[in-house]
Amino acid sequence: MELRGLQKSYATRTGHVHALSAVDLSIRQGEFVAVVGPSGCGKTTMLKILAGLEEPTGGSASLGGHPVRTGSGDVGMVFQKATLLPWKDILANVLLPLSLRRRPTSADRTKAMDLLAMAGLAEFARKRPGELSGGMQQRAAICRALVHDPSLLLMDEPFGALDAMTRDTLNVEVNRIWRETGTTAVLITHSISEAVFLAERVIVMSPRPGRIVEEIIVPFDRERSLDLLGEPEFAALTSRIRSHFEVSHA
């Protein structure tokens, strides 16, 4: 993924709002990148551009050397809420991206079941979303985003509504799923500790119009456990990132 001079402005009744300003970012294949910044800094706008859901007003966004287009089948998206269809079972929800294009095959169903097994949900494949906890629903949403083998997985604050213990558990699960699938991942989060725990690189953005103020390489191994949260180096990294926002609000 390559962003070059990316800009985004919105026309409003009282004038233009500049959401993003000259963002340059390269994301390597298989890398996990987290983006943090204050509310309104354009994080979600940037994610929508990466997903092909919005057009930039300046600069460019490309995936695999080709311009990002609306409806790209090479991108999977996980939203703030699981947004599962309540009248369909979990297997059918996971297969939904394929069902919208064609009739799922037996190979597709096997792929979906493999993903559910990897997420610890195989025994719940025939349950409906209302029979699962919030954390389990989000795991199913991640499976749905991966079922068509996208080269890029985008996550927009996917665990923000969950309690702290469930969120920590899911962070470990996401780390494992990312390592096992090899998918390139971009996470938008307001949680600095979550960003450092999950990412290989953390992108720190300024207040609106959003621009990158620092890129931080996370020096830990790809496989991570909750023990990492108590490490002095982990605390030092989160403090370094937090200092950007303390200065901006001084």
Return the pLDDT at 55: 87
> What does pLDDT average to over the chain?
88
What is the rounded average pLDDT of the residues 70-92?
A: 84
- 40-54, 195-209, 216-230: which range is least confident on average? 40-54
Residue 80: per-residue pLDDT: 81
Q: Can you tell me the mean pLDDT for 86-111?
A: 90
Higher pLDDT, 54 or 93: 93
**Range 207-221 burial, b when 16+ CB lie within 10 A, else e:** bbbbbbeeebebeee
Q: Once rounded to an integer, what is the mean pLDDT over residues 60-78?
A: 79
Q: What's the pLDDT score for residue 188? A: 93
Closest to 199 (Cα-Cα) out of 180, 218, 173: 218
**pLDDT per position as a tens digit, 212-243:** 999 999 999 999 999 999 999 999 999 999 99
* Per-residue pLDDT at 104: 84
Q: Would you say residue 70 has pLDDT above 70?
A: no
Q: Residues near 3 by Cβ (< 8 Å), separated by ≥ 6?
A: 23, 24, 25, 26, 46, 50, 59, 60, 61
Farthest-apart Cα atoms in the chain, separation: 58
What are the chain's domains? 2-74+153-248 (3.40.50.300), 84-149 (no CATH)
* Confidence at residue 158, expressed as pLDDT on a 0 to 100 scale: 84
What is the pLDDT at residue 249?
Answer: 43
How far is the C-alpha of 129 from the C-alpha of 93, rounded, in Å?
9
CA distances from 165 to 176, 178, 186, 188 (A): 17, 20, 22, 19
pLDDT surpasses 60 at 128:
yes
Q: Hey, is 97 helix, strand or coil?
A: helix
What type of residue sits at position 165? Answer: M
Burial grade of 192 (CB within 10 A; 0-12, 13-18, 19 or more):
buried
Euclidean distance between the first and the last CA atom of the chain, given in angstroms as a whole number = 34
Q: What is the dihedral of CA 47, 87, 164, 201, to 10 degrees?
A: -20
What confidence score (pLDDT) does residue 73 get? 58
**Lookup: tokens for 145:** 């985003």
Looking at residue 248, its pLDDT comes to: 45
Pairing of strands 152-156, 75-78: parallel
Average pLDDT over residues 47-70: 85
